[in-house]
Amino acid sequence: METLCDATRVLKSNGVRVTPARVLLLEVLHSRGGLITAQELHGFLPAGSADLVTVYRFLALLVKARLVREVAGTDGIAYYEMACSHNPVHPHFECLGCGRLICLPVFQQEDSERVYAYGEGHEVESVSVVFRGTCSECLAKATEEGKG
């Protein structure tokens, strides 16, 4: 298992100002894996260290620097995940039943880098592929109810 990216180093090397709160947020994003909302991330900060608006601003900065990817759910809520080599670009699945957003298996490693080039001639800031339908849990539940 590869060790996770060093948050302080990642911020510094991308010209992003380093604060204890920022390092903590990046570490949580990375260690938890998967998708997380700004609200959830804010909950990991010690009380009074940074407000929710600050968290949103920081996330916007990370998205711009391509350190983090933003995925929008149909509920209008933005979800965030790491965009480093530990979490290559992959599609997502959104369940229209329970609203869950699930990470699907990654594109091939080399495609992850190349995927930004697909927007040939345009300046790509973010990439998002979302499949929508009924998740396996909701399907199982429907089957159960059908039996009952």
Interacting residues with Zn ion (CB under 5 A) = 5, 81, 84, 86, 95, 97-98, 103, 135, 138
Smallest distance, Å, CB 21 to Zn ion? 19
* Measured distance CA(8)–CA(5) in Å, rounded: 9
Residue 50 C-alpha from the chain's centroid: 20
H/E segment holding residue 23: helix 20-32
CB contact at 8 A, 40 and 59: no
Q: Long-range contacts: 144-147, Cβ < 8 Å, 24+?
A: none
Q: Identify which of residues 16 and 84 has a Cβ nearer to Zn ion in the complex.
A: 84
Q: Is 31 strand, coil or helix?
A: helix
Whichever of 55 and 68 has its CB closer to Zn ion, that residue is: 68
Least distance to Zn ion from the beta carbon of 132, Å? Answer: 11
- Smaller CB distance to Zn ion: residue 4 or 61? 4
Shortest distance, CB of residue 133 to Zn ion, whole angstroms? 9
Residue 56 beta carbon to Zn ion: minimum distance, rounded to whole angstroms: 19
